[in-house]
Each structure stands twice: as structure tokens, then as C-alpha cells.
Amino acid sequence: MGDFMFGIEFVPDMPLDDLVKHCILAEDHGFDAVWITDHYNNRNVYATLALVAERTKRVRLGPGVTNAYQVHPALTASAIATIDKISNGRAMLGIGAGDRTTLTSLGIQMDKPVARLREAVEIIRRLLAGERLSFQGNFFKIDGAKLSFKCPEIPIYIGAQGPLMLRTASAIGDGVLINASHPLDFKYAMPQVQKGSPKQGFDVAAYASFSVDLDEGRAKKAVVPVVAFIAAGAPAPVLERHGIDSTDVAAIKSAFAKGDFKTAFGSVTNQMVDVFSIYGSPDHCIQRIRELHDIGVTQVVVGSPIGPDVSTSIRLIGEEIIGEFDG
């Protein structure tokens, strides 16, 4: 299948020793990319990436995804350039609108996220290119800023789900990280991506909740809590696209609001698990990834929970799944 890639996502809320061990294991088992999520309440994304960069040799790595509300684009340019240096040119930058709930808890209003992201990406690219930059945007004003070191080009991926963000991603990015697992979501997304006239080699990544195990029941059990959170946060058009009853989702939301996780997880339906994750035996996961590939996906990012036992699942993906997509 040519250049099909496998990425893996880690949330830096676990002991960093474990996170680094998982990254090394993933590299040894054929993964191409490591994406580290960015939320202020977890360990810092660039410090984590520096550690991973230092302890790995081959995998590409980057934040998946940072945003242009919490971090000024000039700082993002400097941070990702530093990771690129530490990793000998393996850095990639994932950037998106930012998580609304997280931003709200910091008192940040998410106004015009797409327009803001466009400006940020332009600033980052021009600073990385070594330009002394003066920029008068609607969101950022820059007066003669310049990085004090040289940096090679770094691929920029945009996190996107909405139609405008998907079109923008392909117009200004080198790739897109689409937070979805089901073929229907990619059948919806691909025409939007095409509308932005993506460049040759534009990478369409499925940033998917994933759980693989030889025992399908165990794989499912591990993914249900993650699916509960995804279903609770899914926008109405996504629920409609899949014919998911909003009252079923309301039950999960109200249980979460009461702090009743048991009821929330117990309210997850089989359909929700199928829609919001890739889970099951290696064969079943291969089948689902093939469907995504046929629609135009060029990278699968194996995201939380990965499996009931993360190390075992990383090995399983390396030994049983990745080889199916080589050459």
C-alpha cells in the first residue's frame, strides 16, 4: 500500500518513563510517527517531546495538537525548531483550534478559530524560513521578529473535523489530523479536503481511538470509557451522520455531570463503540484500516486507549497489522 503510515498518540498524563518506553517500543515495532497531545493540565508537550526525541532514533514526532490561543506562534516556531534540532530533523508540527472546554477553563474565548489558525501558520512558516517578519494581522501584530538560528522546513499538520477547518487544512497544511475512526466520517471529510486543493503528498491522518487485543471482548472493554467521552463531546451533525439517538448521548452526559462514571460507561451502546473507535482483533482492525485507506486516508494514528495492555497492543500492531500495509 505504498506510503501508508502508522502513527501513535500518547497523552503525557502518565509517568514519563512509561511514555518514553512505549515510544521506543513503538519505534522498534515499525511505527512511523509519535504524536503527543497538548493540554495545559498534562505534562508540557515540548518537554515531553524533547525526552522522546533524545531516546528514539527514527520515528517522526510532534505535538498533536497545539493551538494558537495558549501559545504565541513565534514561541511555537521556536519550540518546534528546537525539537527538530534535538531529533535530527524528525519534527512535525500539529496545530489546531484548541479544545473549547480547556480554553474556557483558562478564560480564553475561542473567537474565529479558523482565521486565527491561518495567521498563526503563516507566521510559523515564515519565522522557520528565517525571515525577519513584520506582520499586521487581525489577531497577531509582529514587528521585525526573527529566530536567531536556522531551521529546515518542518511539516505542519492541522487538526480538523469541521468543513471549513478541513478545507483550510488542505489549503495551508502538509497534512491533516482528523479525529475520527469510522469510514463514514472520512467519506464526509475527503471531499472537503479536496476542495482546499491539497499539495502533492498531502497526508490525511485518521486520529482514531484504537483498541486491539486477541480477545475482542477485552479490546472492547478497554475502549468503552474513551468512547463515552467522545460520544458525549460529539457535535450534533456527527451524531446525525451516524444515526445515533441524541437521548442515548444525553444519558451519558447527565451521568458525567453527576460524576457517575459507571452509569456513563454503562450507557455506551455497541453502535457508539463501532462509530467512535477502531477495536477488536488484529484482523478486524486491519479490515477497518483498509476501508479508511480505500477512502483516501494515508496515516492511521493509533490513539487512546491503544489496548487493554498498551505494550502488548503495540507489539500486536507491529507484528500483525503494520506488515499488511507495507509496499
Please report whether residue 160 would count as binding ligand F42 according to CB under 6 A. yes
Please report whether residue 112 would count as binding ligand F42 according to CB under 6 A. yes
Beta bridge partners of 5: 299
Please report whether residue 115 would count as binding ligand F42 according to CB under 6 A. yes
CB of 291 to ligand F42, least distance (A): 19
Please report whether residue 232 would count as binding ligand F42 according to CB under 6 A. no
Q: How deeply is 214 buried, as exposed, middle or buried, from its count of CB atoms within 10 A (0-12, 13-18, 19+)?
A: middle
Give the residue closest to ligand F42 by C-beta.
Answer: 162
Distance CA 80, CA 99 (A): 20
CA 157 to chain CA centroid, nearest Å: 9
Residues 182-211 that bind ligand F42 (CB under 6 A): 207
Count of residues that interact with ligand F42, criterion CB under 6 A: 26
CA 238 to chain CA centroid, nearest Å: 18
Distance CA 206, CA 188 (A): 13
The residue ranges of DSSP E strands in the chain, in sequence order, are: 5-10, 33-36, 60-63, 66-67, 93-96, 133-136, 141-145, 156-159, 175-178, 203-212, 278-280, 299-306
Please report whether residue 256 would count as binding ligand F42 according to CB under 6 A. no
CA distances from 71 to 61, 172, 288, 315 (A): 19, 19, 36, 35
Please report whether residue 97 would count as binding ligand F42 according to CB under 6 A. yes
Contacting residue, 159, 280, 282, 307, with ligand F42 by CB under 6 A: 159
Closer to ligand F42 by Cβ: residue 145 or 178: 178
Please report whether residue 98 would count as binding ligand F42 according to CB under 6 A. yes
Please report whether residue 64 would count as binding ligand F42 according to CB under 6 A. yes
Question: Hey, is 156 helix, strand or coil?
Answer: strand
Of the candidate spans 26-34, 77-85, 158-166, 263-271, the one that interacts with ligand F42 by CB under 6 A turns out to be 158-166
Site residues for ligand F42 per CB under 6 A:
37-39, 64-65, 67, 96-99, 102, 112-115, 159-165, 177-179, 207
